[in-house]
Amino acid sequence: MTPALNPISLLFASIFTSNILLANFLGMCSFISISKDMKSSNGLGLAVTMVLTVTTAVNWLILQMLQTLGLVYLRYIVFIIVIAAVVQMLEMIIDRVSQTLYMNLGIFLPLITVNCAILGVSLFMEIRNYSFIQSVVYGLGSGLGWWLAIMALSAIRKKVEKAPVPPGLKGAGITMIIIGFMAMAFIGFGGMLQVQ
């Protein structure tokens, strides 16, 4: 059975109130290392959004197939292969369509295969029994939310670089504290939306 969730509130919720990164801790690895630089953050954010939307849709279709075949227990392997294949395909398509886009995105695409947010969204989509439309909207929203979070963090990190931070806290330590504050701020969006 599918939950009765309005796609628009689902989109809003996945970007703000339950941001995949700040509430579910997914996609942290590349998040911390890339967020040092705003330009790369932007590129990676765009790439994650594209890949998330496409893989969630493809994985939804594959999951229906696995369910009819009774092979749901193989979903982890299948999902990760689908993700790797989609990433590879996107890389080739972008290469043909636009050279400038390829120059900007190309280096980030391989990083995405091991980004937990991508697999995470597919698994959440499965466990929450979303319909096709809900899954695509959820994938898109999570991507946009991740993009928003990484842009905000890299902007803040630029300022913090000049601040007198204790030596042990420099780098990863202070970044974690900043993410903590961002997560608190995003919880504040919760009051704006009633998903019912």
Torsion of the alpha carbons at 25, 153, 184 and 123, rounded to the nearest 10: -20
CA 22, distance to chain mean position in Å, is 11
Q: List helix spans (H) across the chain.
A: 7-12, 28-34, 38-69, 75-97, 99-105, 109-112, 116-127, 132-160, 172-187
Taking the complex as a whole, the smallest distance from the CB of residue 79 to other proteins amounts, in Å, to 8
Q: Which amino acid is at 176?
A: M
C-beta closer to other proteins: residue 101 or 151: 151
Taking the complex as a whole, the smallest distance from the CB of residue 99 to other proteins amounts, in Å, to 26
Distance, in Å, from the CA atom of 178 to the CA atom of 149, rounded to the nearest integer, reads 11
Distance, in Å, from the CA atom of 183 to the CA atom of 61, rounded to the nearest integer, reads 33
Residue 50's closest CA among 121, 151, 125?
A: 121
Taking the complex as a whole, the smallest distance from the CB of residue 9 to other proteins amounts, in Å, to 10
C-beta closer to other proteins: residue 62 or 187: 187
C-beta closer to other proteins: residue 105 or 149: 149
Taking the complex as a whole, the smallest distance from the CB of residue 83 to other proteins amounts, in Å, to 9
C-beta closer to other proteins: residue 46 or 114: 114
Distance, in Å, from the CA atom of 79 to the CA atom of 120, rounded to the nearest integer, reads 10
Report the interface residues with other proteins, using CB under 8 A: 1, 3-5, 13, 18, 22-29, 32, 73-77, 79-80, 84, 114-120, 123-124, 126-130, 166-169, 172-177, 179-181, 183-184, 187, 190-191, 193-196
Distance, in Å, from the CA atom of 183 to the CA atom of 177, rounded to the nearest integer, reads 10
Q: Which amino acid is at 139?
A: G
Taking the complex as a whole, the smallest distance from the CB of residue 50 to other proteins amounts, in Å, to 18
C-beta closer to other proteins: residue 99 or 180: 180
C-beta closer to other proteins: residue 104 or 131: 131
Taking the complex as a whole, the smallest distance from the CB of residue 104 to other proteins amounts, in Å, to 24
